[in-house]
Copies of this chain bind each other. A is one copy, B any other.
Amino acid sequence: MQEKERPYHHGDLKRVIIETALDMLREERGWQFTLREVARRAGVSHAAPYKHFPDKGALLTELALLGFAQMRQELAAAIETAPQNEVRRVFFAMADAYVRFGAANPALYRLMFSADAGKIHDLYLSEIPMATFGLLLAILERGQQQGVLRQRPVQGQAAACWAQVHGFTLLSIDGLLLPEKVGDNAFEAALTTLLEGLEG
């Protein structure tokens, strides 16, 4: 005698589960992901998710992929807002968007780079993350062609950028960039150092 007579077959439970999980990732700061809790919140029995995901790791992997997709989108958008001929500003815009994404979605970002899902690793070679990395390579190449950046193997420079921004994002998420340690506007400072290393 329930008011909302939900049909026995949910329709698109898979999407709902993913959506719910993403919501919880946004809300729960503590991040201890529980499949049963997701099911509960989705208003479905605790075993229902198993009809759509072989196991917990599969769901996590899918969430991570969605995270990469969203991040790539935001990075690309941020890049376009900058004047394309000024490499420095393009670069800054990208880095800023990157860290901002991490700060806005800490649990998701953590998940994306967490080995929790186990076999996520094959996935880092997959298209979306690779494409994101490609954005960075393109900027660096352009910068070198314009003579703004040092002539170095772009892959190495890309590694430097990636490590720096990734590290900064994680430290920031973990709340370790305390002013006592690192001063205020640590982000600008760190990015400046990185840029000065890239520039000729």
**Assuming A118-B30, A193-B198, is B159 touching A183 (CB within 8 A)?**
yes
Contact of A155 among B158, B174, B189 (CB under 8 A): B189
Q: How far is the CB of A54 from chain B (nearest CB, A)?
A: 18
- Chain B residue at minimal CB-CB distance from A158: B182
Mask for A28-72, Cβ within 8 A of B = 1, else 0? 001100000000000000000000000000000000000000000
Which among A164, A174, A192 has the greatest number of chain B C-beta atoms within 10 A? Answer: A164
Given A113-B170, A166-B167, list of 10 further CB < 8 A pairs? A150-B196, A156-B185, A156-B186, A157-B193, A158-B181, A159-B183, A159-B187, A162-B167, A163-B190, A196-B196
- Chain B residue at minimal CB-CB distance from A118: B30
Which among A175, A186, A188 has the greatest number of chain B C-beta atoms within 10 A? Answer: A186
Q: How far is the CA of A185 from the CA of B152 in the complex (A)?
A: 13
